[in-house]
Structure 1
Amino acid sequence: MVKVVRLVPPSLRARLALVFGLGTSLVLLVALSLLYVALDRQLDGAVDADLAGRGDDLIASIRAHDLSAVSGDPMAQLYSADGTPIATGAAVAGQVLLRPGQVRAARNRTVKTVTLLALRPGEEPSRVRLMSRPVGQNGEVLAVAQPLTTVESAGNRQLIVLAVATPVLIGALVVLGWLLVRAALRPVDLLTREAAAISTLDTDRPLPAVPGNDEIARLAATLDRMLSRLKVAFARERAFVDDASHELRTPIAVMRGEIDLALEAADDPDEVRRSLLAAQRQVARLGRLAEDLLLLARERAGSLAVHREPVDLTDLAHAESRKLGPVNGLGIEVHGDPVIVAADDTRIRQVLANLAANSAAAGASTARVTVTAGGGSARVEWADDGPGFPPGLLDRAFERFVRGDESRAASTGAGLGLSIVQAVVTAHGGTAELHNGPPLGGAVVTVRLPAS
């Protein structure tokens, strides 16, 4: 099996330090290379300036018919128009700096070249900088030379210094980059350790606050707020499970008791029948509860199906009021003109049934349904003459298993009616609101559905 070698380190800190080190190294190498080139050109410029100054002085002496200045210069030579040396400096005595062709080339312009020249007899030739300039109108040419040994030694020393300093600077920059990255990511490490220590949403332990207003500080604050929201959601789901368990426990206990009674009174057909009928009612209650929970679960998952077709809300309300009134002991009035919407009539009937059951459980005797249309939506208002929603219940009446204290004691409902109303309305793309007050002084639930 071939082992794959990772060229890129897995750690973000190491990758950032590597990128920082490579980037700064490249920039440093380019900067030092430019510095070396600039220094080298500066040295060459200094040599040219020295040759130009010496040449100016010698040309002034030659034009004054003083050739001794040329002989006194260490490395200078004066040529006639045909290339014959006229005067020669002491250091180049016996040598020729320019060939006849080079003399002719320098009659009308200044020529700069680099050549090899033995400074002393028996020595190896050295590189010298040579500047050739015309002297006057008669074709004489002056050549001035300067050894490059000192300049090249200075350039080599600079190169050695840069070669030694570059790795040191690169190493220092890499270490500095590592320290900076580690300091910048220290809050991330702290957040990681604290998040790993939070093993359950039951704990009240928050994530540590990161000072400042940079990206990491905002990330820490966002994660802490997200954790708080998850804790709230977890608490709600746990309360939902607790309430569901409570609602399931009661009918199951009643069913068990009724079945035990039926078994004990096996020789009494009437008692057996009463027990089985009571158990049957509890089974029906369990079935309704299971259906309600399934509906809410589908709504939470976004998979609650609604089969839309044209529905006259006013006609539907009239039909349902005739059935729901006697069942719930309510006098239901329906007002409004025909309003057509695209909706699932079965689900809308379920909404009206839940609202009627909720009003009856609260002790209302009369309910009024008002259907109107306008503003691109159809409005169904359910109002009753009951005591209304308790003040502490208005903000959370649509939550699951939420009931008033009186209704909890007197009603056999599970507290899912209004939750189902909101789920069905939301699945239709509508909204549901509630308050207390007119027209009957009790609870008022307003449902808005998109108009056809």
Structure 2
Amino acid sequence: MKIRPSIRLYLFFSVVFLGSVMAVGFSLLSVHYFIDGLDKGFSVVMSDLAKSVDVEEGEPKNIAGFNVSNRWQDTPDIIQQRFISPPTEVGKLQKIKEQSSIFAVPENIYFVILFYSPQGEKRFISRVMLEKDRPVIVGSSAPEKRLYLIIFTGVAAIGLFTFFLVMIMQKIAKPVESLKHWAKSLKQDNLQKPLPDFTYNELNLLASLLQSSLNSAHQSLQREQHFLSYASHELRTPIAVIRSNVDLLQRLSEKTPLCEKQQLTLQRIQRAGLTMSNLTDTLLWLSRNDEQEVTQEPINLYEKIKQLCADLDYLLNAKNVKVNIDSEDFVVNVEATACHIVLSNLIRNAYQHTQHGQVFIKQQGSRVTIINCNDNADSTAPISETNVKQAAFGCGYGLGLQLSEKIIKRHGWFYEIADVHGRYQVTVDFNRNNS
């Protein structure tokens, strides 16, 4: 399962990372400026010594720990060993540090610089700071302890920063969590209630927009449901009139036979009336309130399938289609209208879209499987789920299938469309426990 990123965690770790980087960066920058300041102080002292101390060749002078000479050969041997060649750039301090690690305090440090005296003579000023010669200051801690103290101080600063960041994010996240729970709890009965206060203006505005959008969607849905209900009720009367007059014409044709074209026309009207009647029943059923209590009654699936196949047999007229029904007596407690609509639509689509082949209707317990196969079906062609639906049920009566799928989904019945070696089948199980 794909783990979705969290804005809160992303923001938290991003701010902690940036704060840590800034703390470490400024610490390193402070260390650099501190050391650079010490080097500049050394350079100033060495410059003053070059201007004020007179030395002769072979007679270097030591003043306050600094060695002043006018020849490189006169500098201390340890300086000549550490620096391969004498400095050539005037005023540029050269420094060598000996330390065990980058975080450790240097054990030995060597300095050398080149200046000119007011008379234009060279002056090599050097300084050697050895660990063994370093004075012990009473009350000062060891370098390692100071290093640990610096590290502890840095970690404590980052921890304190993280703590305050968590507190701030909690103050921001709590109203956001409240908004999320409020949005998840929105239903038709509490949609009109006053908005709670989510502390921040942006969240209150977002909640207002969300409530307004849901109200608009709910009103649109109600208008559509009312339209479907009113339209379906109004259509029932003319459809009933058409079907009753068709039945009357059929009875009259028994006394006065119609010609072949008239009989075909009458059959088309009869089929159209039956289709419109079924569709109207479906729309009326779907336009009912979802929370309306559903009355279940026992339905014998064997008898229902037999009845529907007989009613829809006219769809196979003039077609070379063989229907195989494998059914057994089984009673299931369902909403009668919903069961009738689903089976009627599925069988009708199988009949309509099989031109030359076979239709298999198998019912075992509460599960009904309908398979239709045209003899000219190419079983080797790759078939996607979309092609399966179009091939098995076509697109001429797509509304009936869509409505049936909505009914099945509302009841929680098992529903599956698949292809089996070029045959197309649909399965529905009217028992929720088996889905």
Which TM-score tier does this pair reach, normalised by the shorter chain?
Answer: 0.3 to 0.5
* TM-score calculated relative to the size of structure 1: 0.41
* TM-score calculated relative to the size of structure 2: 0.42
Q: Which is higher, the Rg of structure 1 or of structure 2? A: 1
